[in-house]
């Protein structure tokens, strides 16, 4: 494989998660939703998007939580600790907004 072919592949392959988000049956999100300053604002935006979406295949709660988890997992170790804490708090806020029980701890 030539160097240009390798470079072209890596340039397109590096953005696969954005392509998945844009073209899959994922719900449409408000721009910048994961960069909002409060966990509650992130959770409200995800809930609103999930309830409005016609592209989702599952119930609104599962779609919203899936998008949040997908973002956290794709950002991985590149997330600042403060942003990761905010996004984890957004998960808790999302559970509250949808009247879902709190997540069980792994030790139970």
13 pLDDT more than 60: no
- Percent pLDDT > 70 in the chain is 71
Helices in 53-106 by DSSP H: which ranges? 60-75, 81-97
Q: Is the dihedral of CA 101, 88, 98, 65 positive or negative?
A: negative
Q: Give the per-residue pLDDT at 1.
A: 47
Q: Give the per-residue pLDDT at 77.
A: 82
Residue with the bigger pLDDT between 15 and 76: it is 76
Average pLDDT, the chain: 81
Map out the domains of the chain as residue ranges: 24-97
Instruction: Give, as one character, the DSSP assignment of residue 27.
Output: P
Per-residue pLDDT of 46-62, as tens digits, reads 999 999 988 778 899 99
Per-residue pLDDT of 16-50, as tens digits, reads 666 666 665 567 788 889 999 999 999 999 999 99
105 pLDDT more than 90: no
């Amino acid at each position: 494989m030539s160097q240009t072919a390798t470079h072209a592949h890596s340039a397109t392959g590096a953005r696969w998660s954005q392509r998945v988000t844009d073209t899959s049956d994922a719900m449409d999100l408000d721009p910048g939703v994961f960069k909002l300053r409060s966990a509650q604002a992130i959770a409200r935006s995800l809930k609103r998007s999930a309830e409005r979406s016609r592209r989702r295949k599952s119930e609104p709660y599962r779609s919203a939580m899936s998008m949040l988890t997908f973002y956290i997992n794709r950002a991985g170790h590149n997330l600042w600790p403060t942003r990761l804490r905010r996004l984890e708090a957004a998960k808790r806020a999302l559970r509250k907004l949808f009247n879902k029980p709190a997540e069980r701890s792994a030790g139970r």
